[in-house]
Amino acid sequence: MRGTLNKYFGYNNFLPLQEDVIKDVLKGQDVLVLMPTGGGKSLCYQLPALILNGITIVVSPLIALMKDQVDALVLNGVPAALINSSLDFSQIDTIKAQLQKGEFKILYVAPERLMMPVFLQFLKGLKVSLFAVDEAHCISEWGHDFRPEYRQLKSLKENFPNIPIIALTATATSKVQSDIASELNIPDSKRYKASFLRKNLQIKIKSKANVYEQLLGYLEEHRKDSGIIYCQSRKQVDSLTFDLSASGFRALPYHAGLTAKERSSNQERFIKDDVEIIVATIAFGMGIDKPNVRFVVHYDLPKNVEGYYQEIGRAGRDSLKSDCLLFFNYGDKAKIEHFIRQKEDLREREIANLKLKEMVNYCINNNCRHKVLLQYFGEDFTETNCGACDICLEPRETFDATIEAQKVISCVHRAKERFGMNHIIDILIGSKSQKIIGRNHDKLSTYGIGRDHSKSKWQLIVRELIRAGYLDLEGDEYPVLRLNTKSKLVLAGKEEVTIVKPKIELGKTKTQRQVKIDSKDIDYELFEILRALRKTLADKEGLPPYIIFPDTTLNEMAVYYPGSLEGLKSISGVGEAKLQRYGELFLKSITEYCDNKGIETKASIIKHQFSAKRTIRPSEANSGTIRETLAFYRQGLTLAEMAAKKSVVVGTIVSHLEKIILSGEEIDINRFVSLKDQKIIEKAMAEVGPGMLRPIKDTLGGKFSYEQIRLVRVALGQKQN
C-alpha cells in the first residue's frame, strides 16, 4: 500500500483513516466514508483500484468532476477513463474496447448511465473489483443536494452481489448516513467518520450592512488570492461581478443562466489561475479540486448547514490558512422562504424550512463556529477556544440591556403582538412613515422612546433578544414578535438582561487596511518562478496548474531548494510519473535561481517543520462569445432579442457590450437608452459617483434598470477617456 502511495501519488504517509478504509476495501468489505473536503476521500478508492485485480467503477454526478479526477490520475501514471455525454459514440466504443482488454484500472460514470440495462450487461462482461459511489449524500432526500437518479443505485447489489461498495461524502448527518446505507443495500457496511474540524479555515460571520463596502475592504487585502463568492440569485451574481470588475478586481460569473460554453470557459479560467474570483450561485463548486482557494465568501445566506459546510470546504484544500466569510441578515431568510413556498411537495417544504431554521440558528449563535458545526454533524469538540473563528478570535463584548429590552417588550405589548421587528423599531425611533401614522401608532406611549439608537442598532439588539429567548418570532411569511414568560419577567423588572453588544460592520477605507506579512520560510521569489513555469506547462497541456503540482508542493520546493532528482522526489506531492515528466524542468529553474542568488541546493533533503501562511496568485481576465453579441448588435437586435438568441439574461449581453465599448468599438447606446434618460442617469452619477450601481439606482428612485445605468456609465467613461 505505501509503495503504491509513494509511486503514484508522491506521498509517504496516509491521512487519518485512509489506511484503515483501504485495508477494509481490499478485504472486500462494504464501507461508508465521511471525510471533509480535502480529507483525501478519493484516495480511499483510487489506491485500492491499483492493487485489486480488475476495474473500479466510480459513480460521479458531474462531468467536470470526472474530467478533473481522470486528468489528475493520468498525470500520476494511473490508467483511468470516463464515459459520459461529453464523448461521442465512437469515443465510447473505443474506451469500451480498451476496458475489455483490461487497459484501465478506474472508470468514471454518471449514475444514469451506470444503471442503463445495456451498460450493466456490458459491465457484467468485465472483471469489476469495486464500486465507488462519490458524493453519496445525493442519494438521500434529507441530504442538501438530493438527486433522484442516485436512487437507482439501489439495484447495484442485486446485479453485483459479491462486489464491495464504498460510499463517500463530505457532508452527512446521522439521518443521511442511515439513508445512504439503506438505499445502497449496504446495511452492514463499516462506517468511517473523519473529524469535520478544519482548523485552517477561519470562519467569520458579519452583519450584512454596507455589504459591498465590507466585501471591498476584505478583497483589497487579498487581491492576489483565488476565491469564490456565493450569491443567492443569478441577478445578484451578474450585478456583483460587474461591480467588482469596475472596482479593478478580475472576476467572472457562474450560474445556470449562462450558456454551457460560458460556464465551462469561466470555470476553466478560474481553475487555471487566469482569473482570481468566481462569483457564483450554488451551481458552482461540486467536484472543483482547485486546492489554492484562499477564501470563500457567502454574500447571501446559504439555504442549509450541509450546503454551507460543503461550500466553505472548497477553501484551503491544500491545508493552508483560508478565510470563510458569511454576511448575514434576516432579509435573506425571507427571500429563501419565498422560494420554499413555491415548492409543490409539502414534505420538501417542511425539510427545506427546517434546514433554513438550522442555518439561521448557526448564524445567530454566539458559540464557537467550529464547535456548532461539529455538533451538527454529531461530533464533540471539547476545546475551549478553536483559534479559528470570529467568536473565539474576537470575543464579544456584553452589556446591560435591561432598559433596551423593556422598551422593545413594552412596544410589542402595546402593538398587540401583531407586528414584525421593523415595524416595532419604527415605532421606537419615532418614524413618520404612513404605515405608522395610518395605524395611529404615533399615539402609543412607546412612540419615539428609542431615538437614542439608530435603526440598525435596534435591529441588532432585537435579534439578540430573540436569540437569547426574551422574545419569540413566529410565522414564516410575515413573522411577528410575541411575548413569552421571560418577556413578562423583564417587563415586571424581575429579570436583568445581558446581551452581546451590537457591532455594526462598516467597509474599511484604504488607510485602515493592513497588509499581511508572508511566512519567513518560503522564498517567494523562487515560488513565483516555479508558479510561472507551472502555468506555462499547464497551458501547454490544457490542464489546471494545480494538477501538475499544488501550491503546497511549490512551497516545499521554495523552502528546501532540491538540487537533484532524489531531492525533488522527497518533496511532498512528487510521485514517480510527475518526477519523470516534470522533474528536470523544475530542477533547472531551481538550480538556475540558486546559482544567481548564491544559494546552495540540496541533493538530499531532511525536512523540518515549516508553515506557509499565504502564497502569491497571478491573474489575467478575459471573456468569450462577445463577437457573437457584436454581430447581433450589428443586425439591429434589441437587448432582449440578443439575450433570447444566446439563451442568456440581458445582464450578460450588457456585460458583452461593455467589453466591446471598452475595446474601442463604436456602439450606439441611444438604441437602448434615450438621450433624455442618459442625461438623467449622468446627473445621478455626478451626485453619488459612478463607482457603485445601487446608490445610482436608489438616487433615480428605481426608475431605471441596472442594465441602462451600466450602459450609460461605460459610454460616459469611454467618452471622458
Q: How many other C-beta atoms are found inside a 10 Å radius of the C-beta of residue 614? A: 19
Check whether residue 449 and residue 538 sit in a common domain.
no
In degrees, rounded to 5, the angle at the alpha carbon of residue 162 between the alpha carbons of residues 121 and 24 is: 130
Q: Who's near 16: CB < 8 A, 6+ residues apart? A: 39, 194, 195
Q: What is the pLDDT of residue 631?
A: 82
Does residue 516 sit within a domain?
no
Q: What is the percent of the chain where pLDDT is above 70?
A: 91
Residue pLDDT, tens place only, 116-171: 999 999 999 999 999 999 988 888 767 666 777 888 898 899 999 999 999 998 87
- pLDDT-derived band at 186 (thresholds 50, 70, 90) equals very high
Check whether residue 56 and residue 115 sit in a common domain.
yes
Query: Which residues does residue 389 pair with via DSSP β-bridges, in sequence order?
Result: 203
Check whether residue 389 and residue 403 sit in a common domain.
no
C-alpha 58/C-alpha 459 separation (Å) is 50
**Cell output for 139:** 442519494
C-alpha 535/C-alpha 554 separation (Å) is 12
Q: Which 3 state secondary structure label does DSSP give 413? A: helix
Q: What is the percent of the chain where pLDDT is above 90?
A: 33
**Cell output for 311:** 461550500
At 605, phi and psi to the nearest 5? -125, 130
Q: Who's near 577: CB < 8 A, 6+ residues apart? A: 8, 75, 76, 77
Q: What is the pLDDT of residue 456?
A: 80
Q: What is the pLDDT of residue 690?
A: 67
C-alpha 318/C-alpha 550 separation (Å) is 7
Q: What is the pLDDT of residue 476?
A: 59
Pick 138 or 94 by higher pLDDT.
94
In degrees, rounded to 5, the angle at the alpha carbon of residue 72 between the alpha carbons of residues 67 and 77 is: 125
Q: What is the pLDDT of residue 617?
A: 30
Does residue 695 sit within a domain?
yes
C-alpha 28/C-alpha 62 separation (Å) is 27
Q: Calculate mean pLDDT across residues 358-365.
A: 89
Check whether residue 659 and residue 541 sit in a common domain.
no
Q: Who's near 190: CB < 8 A, 6+ residues apart? A: 24, 29, 30, 31, 32
Domain end position, chosen among 171, 193, 215: 193
Q: What is the pLDDT of residue 691?
A: 59
CB contact at 8 A, 192 and 20: yes
Does residue 208 sit within a domain?
yes
What CATH number does the domain containing 576 carry? 1.10.150.80
Residue pLDDT, tens place only, 102-126: 999 999 998 889 989 999 999 999 9
Does residue 211 sit within a domain?
yes
Give long-range contacts, CB 8 A cutoff, 24+ apart: 388-393.
Answer: 388/199, 388/200, 388/201, 388/202, 388/203, 389/202, 389/203, 389/204, 390/203, 390/204, 390/205, 390/206, 391/366, 391/367, 392/368, 393/202
Check whether residue 154 and residue 57 sit in a common domain.
yes
Check whether residue 370 and residue 413 sit in a common domain.
no
Q: What is the pLDDT of residue 521?
A: 67
Residue ranges making up the domain that contains 267: 201-393
Q: What is the pLDDT of residue 692?
A: 64
Check whether residue 229 and residue 167 sit in a common domain.
no
Check whether residue 124 and residue 49 sit in a common domain.
yes
What is the identity of the amino acid at 290? K
73 burial (CB, 10 Å; 0-12 / 13-18 / 19+) is buried
- pLDDT-derived band at 646 (thresholds 50, 70, 90) equals confident
Check whether residue 715 and residue 630 sit in a common domain.
yes
Q: What is the pLDDT of residue 595?
A: 83
C-alpha 127/C-alpha 80 separation (Å) is 15
Q: What is the pLDDT of residue 605?
A: 59
C-alpha 295/C-alpha 287 separation (Å) is 17
Domain end position, chosen among 580, 597, 614: 597
Does residue 610 sit within a domain?
no
Does residue 74 sit within a domain?
yes
- pLDDT-derived band at 22 (thresholds 50, 70, 90) equals very high
Residue pLDDT, tens place only, 275-317: 999 999 987 866 577 889 999 999 999 999 988 998 998 899 8
Report how far apart, in Å, the C-alpha atoms of 101 and of each of 104, 120, 493 are.
Answer: 8, 18, 83
Q: What is the pLDDT of residue 51?
A: 94
pTM value is: 0.60
Q: Calculate mean pLDDT across residues 498-521.
A: 48
Report the range out of 113-127, 242-256, 693-707 with the highest average pLDDT. 113-127
What CATH number does the domain containing 708 carry? 1.10.10.1390
509 burial (CB, 10 Å; 0-12 / 13-18 / 19+) is exposed
Check whether residue 351 and residue 255 sit in a common domain.
yes
Check whether residue 428 and residue 452 sit in a common domain.
yes
Domain end position, chosen among 354, 374, 393: 393
Q: What is the pLDDT of residue 509?
A: 33
Check whether residue 291 and residue 230 sit in a common domain.
yes
For residue 464, pLDDT beyond 90: no
Does residue 608 sit within a domain?
no
Query: Which residues does residue 81 pair with via DSSP β-bridges, in sequence order?
Result: 107
Number of structural domains found in the chain? 5
C-alpha 103/C-alpha 135 separation (Å) is 26
**For residue 94, how many C-alpha atoms fall within 13 Å in the half-sphere facing its CB?**
7
Q: In Å, how far from its chain's centre is CA 14?
A: 27
Q: What is the pLDDT of residue 620?
A: 24
> From its phi and psi, is residue 40 left (phi > 0), alpha (psi between -120 and 50) or beta?
left
C-alpha 391/C-alpha 506 separation (Å) is 18
What CATH number does the domain containing 458 carry? 1.10.10.10
Q: How many other C-beta atoms are found inside a 10 Å radius of the C-beta of residue 365? A: 14
Q: What is the pLDDT of residue 125?
A: 93
**Cell output for 190:** 463499516
Report the range out of 173-187, 411-425, 687-701 with the highest average pLDDT. 411-425
Nearest to 431 by CA among 419, 414, 408, 449: 449
Mean pLDDT score across all residues of the chain: 84
Does residue 611 sit within a domain?
no
